[in-house]
A and B are shown apart, each in its own frame.
Chain A
Amino acid sequence: QAVVTQEPSLTVSPGGTVTLTCASSTGAVTSGLYPYWFQQRPGQAPRTLLYETNNRDSWTPARFSGSLLGGKAALTLSGAQPEDEAEYYCFLSYAGTWVFGGGTKLTVL
């Protein structure tokens, strides 16, 4: 089964910009792997941020955006807010089986 790799932790200043990435052990991440991004705050269930690379959920603030960057999926947060401090997971589809990345703990400080 494929391995999906994310940065274990990142820190961003309030109002700053940060990019989280998601790499696949099978090669470049493309739209064909249908990258999803989820946010999970401590003690809460996950919720979906982005679908299929760059489509926001109805609740997702516009400061979150998705892209494909240098062979990886990327989640960019522009104008970080204190409430964005959370764990972020990417999720890739491999012909019907799915794999989560290990998660990135984002600190807003």
Chain B
Amino acid sequence: EVQLLESGGGLVQPGGSLRLSCAASGFTFSNYWMHWVRQVPGKGLVWVSRINRDGSSTTYADSVKGRFTISRDNAKNTVYLQMNGLRVEDTAMYFCAGFYGTTSFWGQGTLVSVAS
């Protein structure tokens, strides 16, 4: 069964850090470009970051550039999002998604809350 399972969300104070993980199973993870996408409950989807197949190329939304780092470990079939300098406005559900040609998979999300 194909699955993307996010973890690592939780409550953190402003200025704090979290590392999200997204574990893949049931497909050839190393073929897929991986993205992180976030969504404030009741609001729209916002793209956060993406990484290419071997991890050599990464891009970020302006809102997170310099604070978030995406990485992957193809041996562990996992993509990560290291989030530093968290702000209240980073509060959202974070989804990972993988794309390869005309195939894609989405996780169910992990909730990040930034509050004092």
Write the residues of chain A forming the contact surface with B, with a CB cutoff of 8 angstroms.
Answer: 1, 38, 40, 45-48, 51-52, 55-58, 87, 89, 91, 96-103
| Contact mask for chain B residues 36-64; partner A; CB cutoff 8 A; 1 contact, 0 none | 01000000111100100000010111100
Q: Which residues of B contact A100 (CB under 8 A)?
A: 37, 44-47
CB < 8 Å: which of A47, A57, A87, A103 contacts B102? A57
How close is B109's CB to chain A, nearest CB, in angstroms?
6
CB distance from B6 to the nearest CB of A (A): 10
B25 at the interface (CB under 8 A from A): no
CB distance from B5 to the nearest CB of A (A): 12
Interface size class of B (residues with CB under 8 A): 20 to 34
Contact call B44/A45, Cβ cutoff below 8 A: no
Inter-chain contact A103/B47, CB cutoff 8 Å: no
Cβ-based interface call for B107 (8 A)? yes
Among A1, A52, A58, A103, point to the contact of B44 (Cβ < 8 A): A103
Chain A residue with minimal CB distance to B58? A96
B65 CB to nearest A CB, Å: 10
B106 at the interface (CB under 8 A from A): yes
B residues within 8 A CB of A51? 99, 101-102, 104
Q: Decide: A89 near B57, CB < 8 A? Known: A45-B106, A45-B108, A57-B104.
A: no
A-B contact pairs, 28 of them (CB 8 A): A1-B62, A38-B45, A45-B95, A45-B108, A46-B45, A46-B95, A46-B97, A48-B99, A48-B104, A48-B106, A51-B99, A51-B102, A56-B102, A57-B102, A57-B104, A58-B103, A87-B44, A96-B57, A97-B47, A97-B60, A98-B35, A98-B50, A99-B47, A100-B44, A100-B45, A100-B46, A100-B47, A103-B44
